[in-house]
Every structure is written in C-alpha cells, then in structure tokens.
Copies of this chain bind each other. A is one copy, B any other.
Amino acid sequence: MQACLDEAWKYQCLTYPNPAVGAAVLKEGRLLSIAAHQQAGGPHAEVLALKEAYYRLTKDSDILPITQALHLHNYLQTHAHNLFHDATLYVTLEPCFHYGKTPPCSLLIKSLGLREVVIGTLDPNAQATGGAAYLRHNGIKVRVGVLERQCQELIEPFVKWSNGSFVLFKYAQTFNGVVKGGIISSQASREYVHALRDRIDLLVIGGNTVRIDRPILDARLVGGRAPNVLIYSKKKKFSDNIPLFGIGGRRVYIEDSLERVAQYSFVMIEGGEGMLRATKMMVDWYLQFVAPKCRALENYRCDKKIEFLHTRKIDRDLMIWSQNG
C-alpha cells in the first residue's frame, strides 16, 4: 500500500477534479504491477495496474497501445478470464461504482474475479461509493483501512475541491532558504508546475512579482492551457507589455482582495515571503520545491551546488542529508 501511495503522489493534484489514486496487483505474494491515475478522463489506477499485470502474465503486447479506459475495460474482460482468480488488488481508494468518464472499476474487478481487494480508505464521494459493498456481495474478499490515514491525506485536495475550494501555495527556494535571484527549480519541477497551471481554475500572484519578474504564467512546458490569473495588488497599474497580458483566451483580474479565490474549486498561489504572509490563513496545502544549491543572500550569482542524498521524516521535522557538490 505504501508503494501505491508513493505512485499516486507522483500525480498529486494533476488528476483534478479526480482524486489521486494508486493501485497494485499481486499474485502469490509477487508484485506484478503498480500504477496511478494520472489525469481526469484517463484510466483509473486499478485499470492501469490490471493492464500492466495482464501484460506481465501473458506477454500479450496487443494491450500495450490501448490507452482509453473503455477499451481497456473491454479488452481485459474479453482476454483476462481466469488470469486473476488468485490475485489481490491493492488500491488506495475504494474502486468506483458509477459510470463517469470511465466504466466503473468495481464491475471490471468483479468480472475478472479477483480473489481479494485491499482498500486504503472508502470513497468519501457519495456518488462514487458502494464499490466495496458490491465486491463483497459478489464473493470477493474485501479488506478496508490499510494505511488509512495516509490514504485519506492523499485525497484531501479532492475532498476540498469537491466540497468548495482547495488552495495550493507553490513555493520555490534554494537549499538555504533563498527565494530570489532568478530561476531556482529544475526543468522537471517547472514542468510539474506548468502541468498544475494547465489544470487549475485560477492562478494567484502578487503584484510585485508581476512587476519585477514580468512572467508569462502559461503552461508552455507541457503544451497546456494558460490559466486565468488574479494579480493581488494594491496598485492597479501594470505595463501592458508584461507577457502574461498577451496570452489569448485568459482572464486577468487585478484586485486588492483575495475574496475571489473562494469562488474557484482549485486555486494555485505562486509567490514568496510576502504572499506566504498574506495568504497563510487561506492556504490548504503547500507545494515546495527545494533546489540543490546554496545561494548567497546578497550576491545571487554564485550558487554552490549540492546533491540531495536522503530525506525522511524524523518526528514532525524533515531530515535532509545532502552532499556538497
């Protein structure tokens, strides 16, 4: 289940408006596959894990190019008879039981006749719950509540944006806490941020950052759509040639209040110390990128590179071991 959780975290918030979910298939104690739901409209974690497990067991490469959920459901139901009768599915969230963008996973699991399904936590969404009861009713052994707290934490954004608003604060800094002096994060980190921008309903940014950094605030690194922007600023005047104003199909609000945030389901705030202070009572989660460099507090030019070696929680702190580069 921990491996399912880790896999699901790789797509945290990218699954909006769906929850992040991870799943694994085991047969005779052997791990056949681990997969995560990656994006709304794409196959659920269970289906991707069953696809990978099916391929591992059969080497039937015809399944590999199939990416649509409905086609995967059909292919597995047609080809995977008797393959999973002694298999166990682990999944962080109760398999869905309603027809949404994809057919219900519970029906697929039942029709493949898995022996056991181990579920991290039940689905808090009244529309989607019922999968566990349905599977049990159909003779599949069902266990619920494995690493339950962690599985609930994983879907907290989903619970929040389903019932109102989820606010994520994105923050980038160097190893020694410096947030200024040009691009801080690596390409992969910036791609993750662009993928988030592609998903969110509103991007919030401070007026000073807009004036100083003159950002574009689009999702070009992942070919995504540019989000609507709220510039939080007392002063309403901005130079028209700041790139973010030149993006078509986007709305830009310039306001000295953050009230608008509550009207959106998924909001990302990007900023530094000033925005951290201004928004700390309204933020649900922080997403922090720490770059492997020591940057001088005054002279930003000479970054000293480091390499992160190992991170773990110690009590409530993070313990980070790194190597001087």
Interface residues of A (CB under 8 A from B): 6, 9-10, 12, 29-30, 153, 156, 171, 173, 175-179, 185-189, 192, 273, 276-277, 280, 283-292, 294, 296-297, 304, 306-324
Q: Is the CB of A287 within 8 A of B177?
A: no
Q: A290–B177 Cα gap in the complex (Å)?
A: 10
The residue of chain B having its C-beta at the shortest distance from the C-beta of A185 within the complex is B317
Residues of B with C-beta under 8 A to A311: 311, 313, 318
Residues of B with C-beta under 8 A to A186: 314-317
**Cβ-defined partner of A319 (8 Å) among B29, B187, B289, B310:** B289
Given A29-B29, A153-B309, A177-B173 in contact, is the A292-B280 Cβ separation under 8 Å?
A: no
Q: Is the CB of A315 within 8 A of B284?
A: no
Residues of B with C-beta under 8 A to A324: 280, 283-286
New A-B pairs, 15, CB < 8 Å, besides A292-B317, A308-B318, A311-B311: A6-B312, A29-B29, A153-B309, A173-B177, A175-B286, A176-B177, A176-B273, A177-B179, A186-B315, A276-B294, A280-B324, A286-B321, A287-B320, A288-B320, A307-B316
The residue of chain B having its C-beta at the shortest distance from the C-beta of A297 within the complex is B273
Q: Is the CB of A291 within 8 A of B273?
A: no
Q: Is the CB of A12 within 8 A of B321?
A: yes
Residues of B with C-beta under 8 A to A286: 175, 306, 320-324
Given A286-B306, A320-B290 in contact, is the A314-B189 Cβ separation under 8 Å?
A: yes
Residues of B with C-beta under 8 A to A323: 153, 156, 284-286
Q: Is the CB of B285 within 8 A of A175?
A: no
Q: A310–B319 Cα gap in the complex (Å)?
A: 13
Q: Is the CB of B321 within 8 A of A287?
A: yes
Q: A200–B4 Cα gap in the complex (Å)?
A: 39
Residues of B with C-beta under 8 A to A315: 186-189
Q: Is the CB of B289 within 8 A of A317?
A: yes
Residues of B with C-beta under 8 A to A277: 296
Q: How far is the CB of A305 from chain B (nearest CB, A)?
A: 9
Residues of B with C-beta under 8 A to A285: 309, 321-324
The residue of chain B having its C-beta at the shortest distance from the C-beta of A172 within the complex is B317
Residues of B with C-beta under 8 A to A320: 286-290, 318
Residues of B with C-beta under 8 A to A287: 319-321
User: Which 7 A-B pairs have CB atoms at the shortest separation, nearest pair first?
Assistant: A177-B177, A188-B315, A186-B315, A290-B318, A288-B320, A189-B317, A286-B322
Q: A185–B145 Cα gap in the complex (Å)?
A: 32
